[in-house]
């Protein structure tokens, strides 16, 4: 469900959980482990990519609707741990957003160092509210860091999905590239990082990302508990079941 | 001085204090009461609008120059209370900026959730410095939240009044609409909020606006006292009297 | 090395250390003294300018490579003191960026109130990382204040030098002017400040810059020691010597 491709010192982690690279506990866990493992294997940068046309569809709603409270709690703990790992990574991570990246797909990208999106009619954004899920505060904090308070409020509260062009305009992404060049561009960005004096880059990068990292200095247990609890709220369950039913009809077995 | 128009679940509060919808103690007080009352009356969103061509001219300077210290102190307390009410409102508020919105007009809009301005040669911005009034810190905080520190500093210190197009560029507003559609657009934005899963929207909105709300967690008495005192500074009084004299000549009885 | 030109109430401080207005301890010290002296001499605004085509090339690397530890420590203490003086200045400072402004040139400009750059193929930006120097945290804080966290991270970590047009787009500068008018434009901006009611402008300006000023409320000794120590790191020394050798060949005696 997660392919590892080495390109010299750059390690590509390719989401590979068909059909939509939707996030299960196992994929979130694998991603966290691989990001932590990369620098230990002497990788000096990471490209996080997806399938052509699909970066990640976010949480695997149909699958997760079958989780019990313990499993959901474990999933959110792991997701927070993944975001912490990304925020604290000692090596740069570029998101090669190869296609659709709603909800969790955008979350993963927004905790990377840099983002390039495939040109096309792809959707990006945090549509959690649209599917009945209050946006977890850590995710809002990551969004606000990129967009500023005004656009972050507008997009998050409205649960808006936007185009690559609009995402570039508001600062949710850094670049748009032709679909067949999006991974190459992420790779080139990593190479530009590796071409810099290593220590100067690394120390400055730590300073520039200290605000993101500091979010994880607080005790996040109460936040994670609240986020987990919100999954079982009647409105959320009703909306998610409707979403899952629609997905089921459209793709006949999305979460297989 | 404040009309209430119900459009199903959306309540429009229309400033109606001719000729310029300038803010007196009574209008500020009425506005605060109506915003607090709306959700109790089961309104689910608010549109704050003004008259065609005039949203609000800000504080009614000629009138306020007749206030004594106690009255000015009461006015500023009420204005801070209004801004707190807007920041903490449990339902979304859209500003339908129907025309000119200098100073206090812009302040009201900037504490709403979303802003649309009528297309035309209307002025918007915080020109307090131009009329001799140091910008109250709470107002600067609201502006910086929308524009970021650089543009907020530039506009606030210079007391600049800008066009709708420039306001859109810097993020002071969210949209421009033809004058006869500006209230409709604000209504449509409210409807888009009401179409969302209620709890998910409400919880995410509270998170997105927590930074604005948190300003009012501190003891604001010293700030309000300082703002009140600044009204009586010789420079401020001289400048405001000059402004009032000019207004008096131009509109013959603006503050009637 | 620093010319003082009075234009009525506006004092121009013109960097004049050929060929590149590179920063030595003496120039940094002189600049701080002159900025502190200006309001005592009844100047009401300052224009900080450079030579045609060259605003400032930043730290005088070839010269500084000859400094011992005590001299470098003294230089950084003075540089931090200069930035504090600029942040706390009681009168507005406009940067007339007359030409190239890499590294320290951009730092000086970013702690001013307002920035205009000469139109042309000039470079601006914080390329410290490119020359092996971790960006000092205070400098990153000043950059993030102007650009927001995303662009500040992107430019600082990459050590990117950008064009005036790109600098305007991201908010690193406020205006572009023809080279022969850049000082005039800075002067006009100062005049627009002086035309405002003095106390209202001054109080609002202090509020708008309080975030910048507050950086200096903390004990900065540990930060300054770390920055000084980074100068002697092997990677930094190797990269700086390579830069100096290249500069030496190109300009035959840059730091003379």
- Show pLDDT as tens, one digit a residue, over chain A (256 residues): 999 999 999 999 999 999 999 999 999 999 999 999 999 999 999 999 999 999 999 999 999 999 999 999 999 999 999 999 999 999 999 999 999 999 999 999 999 999 999 999 999 999 999 999 999 999 999 999 999 999 999 999 999 999 999 999 999 999 999 999 999 999 999 999 999 999 999 999 999 999 999 999 999 999 999 999 999 999 999 999 999 998 877 654 433 3
Compute the Cα dihedral for C244, C248, C253, C254 and give only its sign: negative
The string over C69-102, giving b where at least 16 C-beta atoms fall within 10 Å of a residue's C-beta and e elsewhere, is eeebbbbbbbbbbbbbbbbebebbbbbbbbbbbb
Q: In terms of Cα–Cα distance, which of A60, A42, A112, A118 is closest to A243? A: A60
pLDDT the model gives residue B250 = 62
Cα separation, C138 vs C145, in Å, equals 11
- C71 interface with A at CB cutoff 8 Å: no
Q: For residues B248 and C205, which has the higher predicted lDDT (pLDDT)?
A: C205
The residue annotated as part of the active site, out of A128, A135, A220, A247, is A128
pLDDT of residue C64 exceeding 80, the answer is yes
- Between vectors from CA C105 to CA C141 and to CA B151, what angle results, nearest 5°? 50
Q: Does domain A2-251 have CATH number 3.90.226.10?
A: yes
Q: How far apart are the first and last CA of chain C?
A: 13
Minimal C-alpha gap between A23 and chain B (Å): 21
- Between vectors from CA A61 to CA A143 and to CA A27, what angle results, nearest 5°? 75
Task: Characterize the bridge pairing of strands B10-15 and B2-7.
Answer: antiparallel
Strands ordered across the beta sheet of A99-102:
A53-54, A99-102, A124-125
Residue in C closest to A170 by C-alpha? C150
pLDDT the model gives residue C253 = 40
Task: Characterize the bridge pairing of strands C10-15 and B175-177.
Answer: unpaired
Q: Are B8 and B35 in contact (CB under 8 A)?
A: no
Q: Are C240 and C173 in contact (CB under 8 A)?
A: no
Minimal C-alpha gap between C52 and chain B (Å): 26
DSSP letter at B42 equals: T
**CB hemisphere CA count around C167 (13 angstroms):** 30
Say how many C-beta atoms besides its own lie within 10 A of residue B254's C-beta.
19
Asked if C200 and B149 come within 8 Å (Cβ–Cβ), the reply is no
pLDDT the model gives residue A253 = 40
Cβ-Cβ contacts under 8 Å, C211 against chain B: 149
Place of tokens 């060259």: C54
pTM: 0.96
Give tens-digit pLDDT for C108-151. Answer: 999 999 999 999 999 999 999 999 999 999 999 999 999 999 99
Average pLDDT over residues B51-58: 98
pLDDT the model gives residue B82 = 98
Subunits adjacent to chain C (3 or more Cβ pairs under 8 Å): A, B
Query: Quick one: which H or E segment has residue B151?
Result: helix B149-158
Which of B86, B189, B203, B213 to mutate: most A Cβ within 10 Å? B203
pLDDT of residue C250 exceeding 90, the answer is no
**Cis, bond preceding A19 (omega within 30 deg of 0):** yes
Say how many C-beta atoms besides its own lie within 10 A of residue A169's C-beta.
12
Minimal C-alpha gap between A146 and chain C (Å): 5
Cα separation, A106 vs A100, in Å, equals 9
The residue annotated as part of the active site, out of A48, A99, A127, A133, is A127
Left if phi > 0, otherwise alpha if psi is -120 to 50, otherwise beta: which for A53?
Answer: left
Left if phi > 0, otherwise alpha if psi is -120 to 50, otherwise beta: which for C20?
Answer: alpha
Catalytic residues of C: 59, 104, 127-128
- A113 interface with C at CB cutoff 8 Å: yes
- C196 interface with B at CB cutoff 8 Å: yes
Say how many C-beta atoms besides its own lie within 10 A of residue B166's C-beta.
15
Q: Are C236 and A197 in contact (CB under 8 A)?
A: yes
pLDDT the model gives residue C252 = 45
- A62 interface with B at CB cutoff 8 Å: no
Place of tokens 């410290």: C128
Q: Which residues contact B65 (CB under 8 A, 6 or more apart)?
A: B237, B240, B241, B244
Work out the widest C-alpha separation in chain A, in whole angstroms: 53
Cα separation, B123 vs B103, in Å, equals 10
Q: Which residues contact A126 (CB under 8 A, 6 or more apart)?
A: A103, A106, A107, A135, A139, A143, A155, A156, A159, A160
* Tokens standing for residue A114: 């840099």
pLDDT the model gives residue C247 = 81
Which backbone phi and psi does B97 adopt, to 5 degrees?
A: -85, 95
Average pLDDT over residues C235-248: 92
Strands ordered across the beta sheet of C10-15:
C2-7, C10-15, C45-49, C93-97, C114-118, C175-177
Minimal C-alpha gap between C91 and chain B (Å): 12
Of B92, B114, B200, the CB nearest to A236: B200
- B192 interface with A at CB cutoff 8 Å: yes
Q: Which residues contact A205 (CB under 8 A, 6 or more apart)?
A: A92, A113, C153, C157
Q: In terms of Cα–Cα distance, which of A46, A41, A18 is closest to A31? A: A46
**Annotation says A2 is catalytic:** no
Average pLDDT over all residues of chain B: 96
- B129 interface with C at CB cutoff 8 Å: yes
- State the pLDDT confidence band at C256, using cuts at 50, 70 and 90: very low
pLDDT of residue B251 exceeding 70, the answer is no
Give tens-digit pLDDT for A210-226. Answer: 999 999 999 999 999 99
Average pLDDT over residues C229-256: 80
pLDDT the model gives residue A247 = 81
Give tens-digit pLDDT for B121-151. Answer: 999 999 999 999 999 999 999 999 999 999 9
Query: Quick one: which H or E segment has residue B145?
Result: helix B137-147
- A174 interface with C at CB cutoff 8 Å: yes
Cβ-Cβ contacts under 8 Å, A114 against chain C: 154
- State the pLDDT confidence band at C251, using cuts at 50, 70 and 90: low
- A90 interface with C at CB cutoff 8 Å: no
Cβ-Cβ contacts under 8 Å, A141 against chain B: none
Q: Are B98 and B55 in contact (CB under 8 A)?
A: yes
Of A133, A153, A233, the CB nearest to B209: A153
Cα separation, B175 vs B169, in Å, equals 10
Average pLDDT over residues B213-218: 98
Cα separation, A49 vs A93, in Å, equals 10
Per-residue 3-state assignment (H helix, E strand, C coil) for chain A: CEEEEEECCEEEEEECCCCCCCECHHHHHHHHHHHHHHHHCCCCEEEEECECEECCCCECHHHHCCCCHHHHHHHHHHHHHHHHHHHHCCCCEEEEECEEEECHHHHHHHCCCEEEEECCCCCEECCCHHHCCCCCHHHHHHHHHHHCHHHHHHHHHHCCCECHHHHHHHCCCCEEECHHHHHHHHHHHHHHHHCCCHHHHHHHHHHHCHHHHHHHHCCCHHHHHHHHHHHCCHHHHHHHHHHHHHHHHHHCCCCC
Which of C153, C227, C235 to mutate: most A Cβ within 10 Å? C153
Name the 3-class secondary structure at B238.
helix
* Tokens standing for residue B236: 């401020």
Give tens-digit pLDDT for C171-195. Answer: 999 999 999 999 999 999 999 999 9
Cα separation, C180 vs C147, in Å, equals 27
């Amino acid at each position: 469900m997660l392919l590892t491709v080495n390109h010299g010192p750059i390690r590509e982690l390719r989401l590979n959980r068909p059909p939509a690279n939707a996030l299960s506990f196992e994929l979130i866990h694998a991603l966290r482990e691989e990001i932590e493992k990369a620098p230990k294997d002497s990788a000096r940068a990471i490209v996080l990519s997806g399938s052509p046309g699909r970066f990640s569809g976010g949480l695997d709603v149909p699958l997760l609707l079958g989780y019990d409270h313990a499993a959901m709690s474990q999933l959110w703990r792991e997701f927070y741990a993944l975001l912490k790992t990304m925020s604290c990574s000692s090596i740069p991570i570029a998101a090669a957003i190869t296609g659709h990246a709603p909800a969790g797909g955008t979350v993963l990208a927004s905790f990377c160092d840099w983002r390039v999106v495939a040109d096309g009619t792809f959707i990006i954004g945090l549509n959690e509210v649209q599917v009945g899920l209050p946006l977890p505060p850590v995710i809002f904090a990551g969004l606000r860091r990129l967009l500023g308070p005004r656009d972050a409020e507008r997009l998050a509260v409205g649960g808006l999905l936007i185009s690559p062009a609009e995402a570039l305009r508001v600062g949710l992404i850094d670049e748009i590239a032709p679909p067949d060049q999006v991974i190459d561009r992420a790779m080139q960005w990593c190479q530009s990082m590796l071409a810099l004096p290593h220590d100067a880059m690394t120390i400055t990068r730590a300073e520039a990302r200290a605000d993101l990292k500091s979010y994880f200095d607080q005790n996040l247990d109460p936040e994670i508990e609240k986020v987990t609890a919100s999954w079982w709220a009647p409105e959320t369950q009703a909306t998610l079941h409707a979403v899952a039913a629609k997905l089921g009809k459209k793709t006949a077995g999305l979460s297989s």
